[in-house]
A and B are shown apart, each in its own frame.
Chain A
Amino acid sequence: MIAIDPTIDWTISVALALIFVASAVMKLIDLNEFHGAVENYRIVPEQISGLVAGAVPIAEIAGAIGLMLPATHRSAAMLLSMLLIVFTASIAINLLRGRRNIDCGCFGPALRQQLSWWLPARNAAMIAMLAIVMLPATERPLAPLDIATIAFAAATLAVLYSAANYLVANAPHLRALEIADA
């Protein structure tokens, strides 16, 4: 069995925890709109879409906190992977239905991302990172420099993730400009 260095384990965990907390907070800020986004996916019956819209951010926060605690580290990674698999399936189903114009709802209304195949690819990368977290870590004690590396690298990953999301959100605008110019 492959074991990973704890610095890598913690870097990924802190970055993903930041991302999931941010995503949950944005959804909770405008839960009404996120409810609309859930309805647009047309995956769950309308009667329970409100319940699902409330449950998703709670699960995200629970997963993020669990990832930070050694006792629940691996089970939280499992929970977040499940969540991502469900999101990815919902996005893929709607892409296959040809319904690209709906809002992803990924970061609540703060970031209007239309559905595209980039989103399943992004989620697959996050699932791969969670799979690394689920591997056993070696017993090396963390030195002060490791703590610094974890803090800087996790913050960098989270910022780059956010930048990539903005790029994807901008893509339809750019396409609209190109069509108008043609």
Chain B
Amino acid sequence: MHDALVISHVVLWIAVLALSAVVLALIRQIGVLHERIAPMGALTMDKGPKVGDRSPVFELTDLAHQPLTLGAPRDDLRSSLLMFVSPTCPVCKKLLPIVKSVVAAESQWLDLIFTSDGEPSEQEGFIRKYQLGQYSFVLSSELGMTYRVSKLPYAVLIDHEGIVRAKGLVNTREHLESIVAAKQMGIGSIQEYLKNLHPHDSMEPAAAIANGEKGNQHHG
């Protein structure tokens, strides 16, 4: 009898542990599903400018009080890379040196514009700390709303004709290069770029986050 109770006890604990592990796995999968369906993607993208669309034109003033026109055709044939960042986003801080180096390599045709919203004093500290003084920095919640930016850091490439060439969440150098390469290569999304790099890989988790972009391509 005693042995039977001991065995029963141990078996029950194993079952409890196994069930807990199953619950954990299920909850993690729910998280992955949310990542795939939640971003601005299918739900709101009809309102945001699509890749290939003409960008809305913005008349803005940057933090240095210089006027800045964004989205209009440019006579100097230069494109604009709009980087949505925030002082409270750790990934942005890690990405800033990468953004600067990628843009420096493409400086003959590309301008870099940082954008954020919130308190100007906070942003000025951010600009000083990460030495962003040489770039335009605009505070505009309108920009973020127009482009439906829900996760940072987010990049939008607008070419010299005012056409949106690429956009998406950028977490790594690879993501950012896919955006910058979009103009020369005619690729509009991270998924397409990654698919060309590793044709046999399944979708990477980081790319899955920006999954809305893929739908965007097909609809746009």
Contacts and interface: CB of A to CB of B under 8 A. Distances in A.
Interface of A: 32-33, 35-37, 40, 99, 101-103, 109, 145, 148-149, 152-153, 155-156, 159-160, 162-163, 166-167, 169-170, 173-174, 176-177, 180-181
A148 B10 contact: yes
A177 B38 contact: yes
- Pick the 3 closest A-B CB pairs, nearest first: A36-B90, A152-B13, A173-B34
Contact of A163 (B16, B20, B91): B20
A24 to B, nearest CB: 18
Given A33-B90, A36-B93, 9 more contacts: A33-B91, A35-B90, A36-B90, A36-B94, A145-B10, A160-B23, A163-B27, A176-B150, A177-B37
Nearest to B35: A173
Nearest to A160: B20
Contacts, number: 77
Contacts of B77: none
Given A32-B94, A177-B34, A163 B6 contact: no
Secondary structure call for the B interface: helix
Interface in B88-124: 88-91, 93-94
14 contacts: A33-B94, A35-B90, A36-B90, A40-B88, A145-B6, A152-B10, A156-B16, A159-B24, A167-B27, A170-B30, A174-B34, A177-B37, A177-B38, A180-B38
